[in-house]
């Protein structure tokens, strides 16, 4: 079967809402070849009285099995070989699992199939520089105060309250029991620096959320429904495993969070769509501004992962790291707004 084409009569539709529809055929000869292979695999496992396992005549095997199932398995095997070639030959990069339909499947006839697959959608960007500058201009000065420090100190002393109800004194000896501090002054200075860092981190998070929200609201991008379905399915799998670990039923879980299953799915779907919209928007901005992850940083992160997660897919992890670092640079670019 080396000279037989993996597929024929292919028609690739134009993307619509990030989904491409592919129609095509696989020759009757190719399907028959795979049907015989599947039947032979079945023959090796089936037990028929009077014959040693794997030695029953093919005609008797065919009478014992569901030939429709055999034909479906043959079609799946043939398409599993054709599918990567279809993607490569037509330069299609899928971002979802394929949805396959066998339009026509019969012995002696070509397999007629249809595939729907999600690809990255087009993004119509707003004036993201103007949005970023507006948010930056609203940035308030962040400063940790002595009052902030005293409040944290009082919380700490209260936590160390003695059985007699007395609070410990803030002494050089006491702060050394809390951490690596030389004295009270050193403790207060480092505490103030930590509070400052936390405040700045929280302020940056709020600005990022505002930036992401405005970008999503003012951009035009449709997240492919197939991609959302895949992620919902994966999220449900993760939830199911967690509930199994906690020995809790889904009914008990939804009662605990005071939501119906429909409300939970609706919220998850909306959150997934927002996440993917943000992802596609940041990628579009990075492409337009020619922002790329630093190759040395990528290599460092990939090497770190390889030493800690030897079974991880290196290609998939590299892609993830590149996207993560590129997103960070893109957000830094927007936050900086020095071009405004």
Tokens representing 32 are: 């028959």
Question: Which residue carries 């609203």 as its tokens?
Answer: 138
pLDDT value of residue 2: 55
pLDDT value of residue 283: 96
Residue with tokens 């000896």: 173
Task: Determine the longest span between alpha carbons in the chain, in angstroms.
Answer: 92
Q: Is the pTM of this model over 0.75?
A: yes
The segments of the chain whose pLDDT lies below 50 read none
**C-alpha–C-alpha distance, residues 336 and 338, integer Å:** 5
Closest of 63, 4, 6, 19 to residue 229, by C-alpha: 19
**In the structure encoding, which two tokens stand for residue 106, read together?**
């019969």
Per-residue confidence (pLDDT) for residue 281, from 0 to 100: 97
115-140 pLDDT tens trace: 999 999 999 999 999 999 999 888 88
Which position has the token pair 């397999």?
A: 111
- The reported pLDDT for the residue numbered 139 is 84
- Listed by start position, the domains of the chain span 8-118, 124-220, 223-271, 289-340
Hey, what long-range contacts does 181-190 have (CB within 8 A, 24 or more apart)?
A: 188/149, 188/153
pLDDT at 52: 67
According to the model, what pLDDT value does residue 9 have? Answer: 96
Mean pLDDT of the chain: 90
Specify the pLDDT at position 340.
56
Cβ contacts of 229 within 8 Å, gap of 6 or more? 96
Classify 260 as helix, strand or coil: coil
- Continuous H helices in the chain: 28-45, 58-64, 67-89, 128-137, 146-159, 172-178, 184-218, 225-245, 250-256, 261-288, 295-308, 314-336
What is the sign of the dihedral through the CA atoms of 176, 179, 183 and 187?
A: negative
Contact assessment for residue 64 and residue 48, using Cβ atoms and an 8 Å cutoff: yes
CB-CB neighbours of 214 under 10 Å: 17
pLDDT value at position 313?
A: 80
Q: Residue 247, by phi and psi: left (phi above 0), alpha (psi -120 to 50) or beta? A: left
- The pLDDT tens digits for 141-199 are 899 999 999 999 999 999 988 888 888 999 999 999 999 999 999 999 999 999 999 99
Distance of alpha carbon 182 from alpha carbon 202, whole angstroms = 29
| Other C-beta atoms lying within 10 Å of the C-beta of residue 266 | 12
Q: What would the CATH number be for the domain defined by 8-118?
A: 3.30.70.1050
Residue 320, pLDDT score: 87
What integer pLDDT is reported at residue 309 of this predicted model?
A: 78
Nearest to 109 by CA among 39, 35, 38: 35
If we measure between CA atoms, which residue out of 194, 200, 171 comes closest to residue 335? 200
How far is 193 from 185, CA to CA, in rounded Å?
A: 12
Contact 70, 35 (CB under 8 A): yes
Taking the C-alpha atoms of residue 76 and residue 82, their distance in angstroms, rounded to an integer, is 10
DSSP 320-337: HHHHHHHHHHHHHHHHH-
């Amino acid at each position: 079967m080396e000279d037989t084409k993996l597929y024929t009569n292919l028609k690739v539709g134009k993307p619509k809402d990030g989904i491409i529809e592919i129609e095509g055929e696989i020759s009757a000869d190719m399907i028959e070849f795979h049907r015989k292979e599947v039947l032979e695999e079945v023959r090796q496992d089936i037990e028929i009285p009077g014959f040693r396992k794997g030695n029953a005549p093919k005609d008797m095997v065919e009478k014992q099995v569901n030939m429709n199932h055999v034909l479906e398995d043959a079609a799946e095997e043939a398409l599993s070989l054709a599918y990567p070639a279809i993607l490569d030959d037509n330069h299609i990069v899928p971002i979802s699992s394929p949805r396959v339909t066998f339009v026509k499947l019969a012995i002696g006839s070509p397999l007629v199939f249809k595939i729907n697959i999600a690809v990255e959608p087009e993004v119509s960007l707003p004036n993201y520089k103007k949005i970023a500058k507006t948010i930056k201009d609203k940035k308030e000065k962040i400063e940790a105060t002595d009052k902030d420090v005293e409040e944290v100190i009082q919380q700490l002393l209260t936590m160390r309250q003695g059985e007699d109800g007395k609070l410990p004194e803030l002494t050089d000896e006491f702060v050394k029991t809390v951490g690596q501090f030389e004295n009270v002054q050193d403790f207060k200075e480092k505490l103030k620096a930590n509070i400052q860092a936390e405040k700045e981190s929280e302020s940056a998070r709020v600005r990022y959320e505002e930036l992401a929200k405005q970008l999503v609201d003012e951009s035009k991008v449709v997240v492919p429904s197939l991609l959302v379905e895949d992620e919902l399915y994966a999220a449900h799998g993760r939830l199911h495993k967690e509930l199994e670990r906690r020995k809790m039923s889904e009914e008990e879980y939804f009662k605990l969070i005071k939501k119906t299953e429909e409300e939970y799915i609706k919220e998850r779907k909306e959150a997934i769509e927002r996440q993917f919209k943000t992802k596609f928007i940041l990628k579009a901005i990075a492409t337009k501004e020619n922002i790329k992850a630093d190759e040395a940083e990528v290599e460092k992160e990939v090497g770190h992962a390889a030493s800690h997660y030897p079974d991880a897919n290196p290609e998939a992890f590299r892609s993830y790291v590149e996207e993560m670092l590129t997103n960070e640079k893109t957000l830094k670019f927007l936050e900086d707004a020095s071009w405004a």
